[in-house]
Chains A and B, each alone.
Chain A
Amino acid sequence: MASSAKKLKDQVGLTGNSAVALAMKQINPDVCPAYPITPSTAVIETFSDYFANGEVDTEFITVESEHSAMSACVGASAAGARVMTATSSQGLALMWEVLYIASGMRFPIVMATVNRALSSPINIHCDHSDSMGARDSGWIQIYSETVQEAYDNMFQAIRIAEDKRVLTPAMVCMDGFITSHAIENLTLATDAEVKGFVGDYTPEHSLLDTDNPVTMGAMTMPDSYMNFKFEQSNAIAGAKEVVVEIGKEYGKLTGREYGLLDCYNLEDADVAIVVLSSAAGTTKAAVDELRKEGKKVGVLRPRLYRPFPHQEIAEALKGIGAVCVLDRADSMSGFGGPLFTDIRSALYGIENAPLVMGRIFGLGGRDFNVANAKEVFEETFKALEAGKIEKTTGYITI
């Protein structure tokens, strides 16, 4: 009791957006080009207050669009700066072509992505259509369940992206409104802890280094383009180990260690739900209730989605009878969402592979509550009992 009271005393209540803006202030990046968009607006709004009050040394650049924001990120990164920004939805969509340029040029830009649905129809609420569309853009993607995690992930993302073995941009995703606008208690790191953890950024090359002139963004021909892509592919695949390493180091510093996956009651589970971000919290509540009834259920929440930790996921899910993968985005392929196809592919050919089905949920902010999670578990149990999946993919709460 005493210790939990003390724990609470040291905590502060912040929205996801405020916590991420505070993390950016503590990181104190060299450059922040930004164009605010709902629901990530408050990240940039709050950070611009820090800038106006002289609390950061950052060059804050207001631009005319998200395409310009990411272009300015690339330019600043080419100059050798530590660069951060934030966006959502249509903003991320407008950044599209420049996302690939940032990753291809191996610039360790870190972006807070506050997940929101894509038009049309227009909708400002949460789903993962925006970041899922960018899943093949060569950016590392970390999905946060809580405000605390979004805050903690920002520091780790800087270290992961800037690691010499990786040198790849990273986005830290959190759920629009659900996490970005909800106030949660969280424990902050001190400015000194953050400074020590993120350290200084030393770029590999800088366009401002006139003693060592380099050309960036040059044309490549069929004899070399593929080799660059091969090396980029190896670098992002290798980021997996770095994510684990940095997560452990962060754990030593703050007591909050992070890995690739968050496994909740999986060891002895008969059925499990795989889901990203805040909906995992809801699903865990359903697990707690069902466990009281003696039902062996669990949750797997991938924290790292790009690169995709397929071996670790296969290891975590093998031996479980049936799994339902919940996607907060539709691939419009007629075959479920992106997380479903990735998970199912990771399980193909392994021993004791579970039955796998996929369900789309929560599009455009459609509510997903504990009762909905229980219904999914129930349907997954039915598949287990029948020994086969009746309907491989579909929608729930429709």
Chain B
Amino acid sequence: MSSEKKNKMPLGGIINKGGTCEDYDTGGWRKFRPILDKEKCIDCLICWAMCPDSAIIVEDGKMVGFNLDHCKGCGICDVECPDKVKAIAMIDEKVAKKG
């Protein structure tokens, strides 16, 4: 990796190690915030499997909430939560912040 010593930037725009997206805050992109109704949730974990940002927090096999540093508010979890359950709702981020 001699070229990297000479150059300040990593060759060809690569990111030199794995797992770096953890350090990258995508929560700031959010226009809509997912809200969980734990009363309704059946812990099927479909939302956990479908979330593109691994922002569903699961503890002991139970869905417990959202990592808002990484949740970008795409609403996929809301759509994917089974129709008979619908435990997730998307609300306006500005309203969520105020309230």
Contacts from A to B (Cβ < 8 Å): 104-107, 164-165, 167, 204-205, 213-218, 220, 224, 227-228, 231
* Known A224-B9, A227-B8, A228-B9; contact A167-B14, beta-carbon cutoff 8 A: no
Query: Given the complex, which residues of A lie within 8 Å of B8, measured CB to CB?
Result: 227, 231
Find out whether the CB atom of B11 lies under 8 angstroms from the CB atom of A204.
yes
* Known A105-B13, A107-B12, A204-B1; contact A231-B7, beta-carbon cutoff 8 A: yes
Listed by A's residue number, 15 A-B pairs whose Cβ atoms lie within 8 Å are A106-B12, A164-B3, A165-B3, A167-B3, A167-B11, A204-B1, A205-B14, A214-B17, A215-B20, A216-B12, A217-B13, A218-B13, A218-B15, A224-B9, A228-B9
Contacts from B to A (Cβ < 8 Å): 1-3, 7-9, 11-20
Find out whether the CB atom of B13 lies under 8 angstroms from the CB atom of A205.
no
Find out whether the CB atom of A214 lies under 8 angstroms from the CB atom of B3.
no
B interface SS class: loop
Query: Given the complex, which residues of A lie within 8 Å of B13, measured CB to CB?
Result: 104-105, 216-218, 220, 228
Among B1, B2, B9, B16, contact of A231 (Cβ-Cβ < 8 Å): B9
A-B pair number, CB within 8 angstroms: 47
Distance (whole angstroms) from the CB of B3 to the closest CB of chain A: 6
A interface SS class: loop
Distance (whole angstroms) from the CB of B8 to the closest CB of chain A: 7
Query: Given the complex, which residues of A lie within 8 Å of B19, measured CB to CB?
Result: 213
Name A218's closest neighbour in chain B (CB-CB): B15
Name A234's closest neighbour in chain B (CB-CB): B7
Distance (whole angstroms) from the CB of B91 to the closest CB of chain A: 28
Distance (whole angstroms) from the CB of A276 to the closest CB of chain B: 29
Instruction: Tell me, in angstroms, the Cα distance from A325 to B45 when the chains sit together.
Output: 69
Among B1, B2, B7, B14, contact of A215 (Cβ-Cβ < 8 Å): B14
Q: A165-B3, A205-B11, A216-B13 are in contact. List 17 more A-B contacts (CB 8 A).
A: A105-B12, A107-B12, A164-B3, A167-B12, A205-B14, A213-B17, A213-B18, A214-B14, A214-B15, A214-B18, A215-B14, A215-B15, A215-B20, A216-B12, A216-B14, A218-B13, A228-B9
Distance (whole angstroms) from the CB of B11 to the closest CB of chain A: 5
Instruction: Tell me, in angstroms, the Cα distance from A104 to B13 when the chains sit together.
Output: 8
Query: Given the complex, which residues of B lie within 8 Å of A218, measured CB to CB?
Result: 13-15
Instruction: Tell me, in angstroms, the Cα distance from A217 to B11 when the chains sit together.
Output: 11
Distance (whole angstroms) from the CB of B7 to the closest CB of chain A: 5
Which of A164, A165, A224, A231 has the most chain B CB atoms closer than 10 A to its own CB? A231
Instruction: Tell me, in angstroms, the Cα distance from A215 to B15 when the chains sit together.
Output: 5
Query: Given the complex, which residues of B lie within 8 Å of A220, measured CB to CB?
Result: 13
Query: Given the complex, which residues of B lie within 8 Å of A106, measured CB to CB?
Result: 11-12
Query: Given the complex, which residues of B lie within 8 Å of A104, measured CB to CB?
Result: 12-13
